[in-house]
């Protein structure tokens, strides 16, 4: 399923975070490896992202980040960090 949502939080030390999906369907787990595959090391909370989500045993997880819009990031959050060498 392709969905849009906002990053609730992302912690590099924990290597994961959550995305609140639009439409009131709940949240989805986001592992930093999926974010890195899209070319980012980290993105701030509040960032709007379009993602591909899989559901397994009533749990949603982001399997691909399709687009990132940091214009909606929360004030005071660190700027996004892009990887230097994206393949």
How confident is the model over 65-75, as pLDDT tens digits? 999 999 999 98
Task: Look at residue 24 in the predicted model and tell me its pLDDT.
Answer: 86
pLDDT given at position 84: 67
What does the pLDDT read at residue 78? Answer: 77
Average pLDDT (19-24) is 93
Residue 49, pLDDT > 70, answer yes
Which domains, from first to last, does the chain contain?
A: 2-31+44-75 (2.40.50.140)
Enter the pTM of the model: 0.88
* Average pLDDT rounded to a whole number, residues 20-36: 94
Report the C-alpha gap between 62 and 27 in whole angstroms: 10
Q: How many CB atoms lie within 10 A of CB 30?
A: 26
Q: Are 7 and 14 in contact (CB under 8 A)?
A: no
């Amino acid at each position: 399923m392709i969905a849009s949502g906002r990053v609730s939080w992302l912690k590099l030390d924990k290597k994961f975070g959550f995305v609140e999906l639009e439409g009131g369907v709940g949240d989805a787990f986001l592992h930093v490896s999926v974010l890195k595959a899209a070319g980012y090391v980290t993105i701030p909370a509040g960032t709007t992202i379009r993602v591909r989500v899989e559901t397994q045993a009533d749990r949603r997880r982001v399997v691909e980040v399709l687009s990132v819009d940091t214009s909606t990031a929360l004030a005071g959050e660190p700027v996004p960090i892009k990887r230097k060498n994206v393949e």
